[in-house]
Amino acid sequence: MMVEEIIDGIKNKDIRSLARAISWIEKEKDEGIELIKNLHHYQKENTHIIGITGFTGVGKSTLLSRIIERYRSMGKTVGVIAIDPSSPFTGGALLGDRLRLSMWTDPGVFYRSVSNRGRMGGLSRMIGDIITTMSVFGFDKIIIETVGAGQSEVDVIKIVDTSVVVLMPGMGDRVQFAKAGILEIADIFVVNKSDLVGADRVRQFLEEMLNFKTSEKRDSMQEEWKIPIIMTIGESNNLKGIDELVEKIDEHFDYLIRIGRLKEIRKRRAKNEIEMLASDIMLRICKNHSSDLDEYASKVANKEIDHYTAAKKIVEKIMMENAISNTSRYT
């Protein structure tokens, strides 16, 4: 299929085209880059990008299914990107989150499983490109589900508008809460499986932490978002707190628009992406200078110069040669 065909398909809400476009992005094909170049200006203005994250087993996928159901009952369309880890040894992955989905044939729901494929920095760029594509397709809500462990997944959560961090009772003590970096990026906390023993204690820990946090930066003049803690049960025969959660997610989006933060977030996302692409290009050029690289590597190994100086010298040399014109892949 041709790139133009796919772009037309996406604009006309053809599922097959959207699915193929995402595959191009996922498989890092040149068509994927071509696609984004020709598609990005059709992005919808008010697509709400939501991240759901939390440790394995807290019930993210089940909760996600409930959130989708709620949005569908409100008439909103939903695109989902579910990220699962791939094995660092075989590269294989079991993308298991689709199992929990309840709405498999609803035309207003598009669900895509993605593996992190052992990527380091590239994951958030890939997800960013998928978001762009889904936004052109026209979903009201785009939801990204991820375990959120490790730097690359935290980077993914940084590109969303509203991040929901899911916890459950019995997951560890105060110290664990203090050291888990994921807690700092929450716009909304969820204590799922809140019928289990210890749910109130989790809530109490979170409240203490949030009080501590707000007392840190009370001098700001801007309207503050008060991070809510929502107690939920995602299991379908015992549902609790889902409507409240969805309400808060939407409230947070309204808040971002009201105070003008949304533009800022989108700009920050773009800045990250440009930085990563630029450093990719630099790395590629650097690797093309393999003879220089070898030469400096020997020098460093022989203790003639240090690696900081060597790296600086290579970059200086590349800039002198203006080798930028040799890179065709991203131009």
Partner 1 sequence: MNMNRSKIKILVAKPGLDGHDRGARVLCRFFRDSGYEVIYTGLHKTAEEVANAALQEDVDVLGMSFLSGAHESYVPKILNLLKNNGVDLNEIVILVGGTIPEEHFKRLIDLGVDGVFIPGVPLNEISDFIDLKIKEKRDKSEAQHYFVGTKLIQKNPV
| Rounded CA separation 12/138 (Å) | 10
Going by C-alpha positions, the residue among 96, 161, 123, 91 that lies closest to residue 26 is 123
What the block records as the tokens of 70 is: 């709620």
Our finding on whether 14 is near partner 1 (CB under 8 A) is yes
Our finding on whether 11 is near partner 1 (CB under 8 A) is no
Our finding on whether 93 is near partner 1 (CB under 8 A) is yes
Our finding on whether 295 is near partner 1 (CB under 8 A) is no
CB nearer to partner 1: give 93 or 311: 93
| Rounded CA separation 297/120 (Å) | 24
CB nearer to partner 1: give 86 or 192: 86
Our finding on whether 72 is near partner 1 (CB under 8 A) is no
For helices 261-288 and 151-158, give the axis angle rounded to 10 degrees.
140
Our finding on whether 252 is near partner 1 (CB under 8 A) is no
DSSP E strand boundaries for 192-285: 229-231
Residue of the chain from 76, 98, 119, 317 that contacts partner 1 (CB under 8 A): 98
For residue 233, the 8-state DSSP code is B
As measured in angstroms, the least distance from the Cβ of 31 to partner 1 is 13
Sign of the four-CA dihedral 159, 161, 166, 171:
positive
Write out the binding residues for partner 1, residues 101-140 only, by CB under 8 A. Answer: 104-105, 110-113, 115, 117
Residue of the chain from 92, 173, 220, 325 that contacts partner 1 (CB under 8 A): 92
As measured in angstroms, the least distance from the Cβ of 91 to partner 1 is 4
As measured in angstroms, the least distance from the Cβ of 17 to partner 1 is 8
CB nearer to partner 1: give 24 or 253: 24
Going by C-alpha positions, the residue among 48, 51, 38, 45 that lies closest to residue 8 is 38
Going by C-alpha positions, the residue among 53, 49, 56 that lies closest to residue 64 is 53
Binding residues for partner 1, per CB under 8 A?
14-16, 19-20, 22-23, 27, 86-96, 98-99, 104-105, 110-113, 115, 117
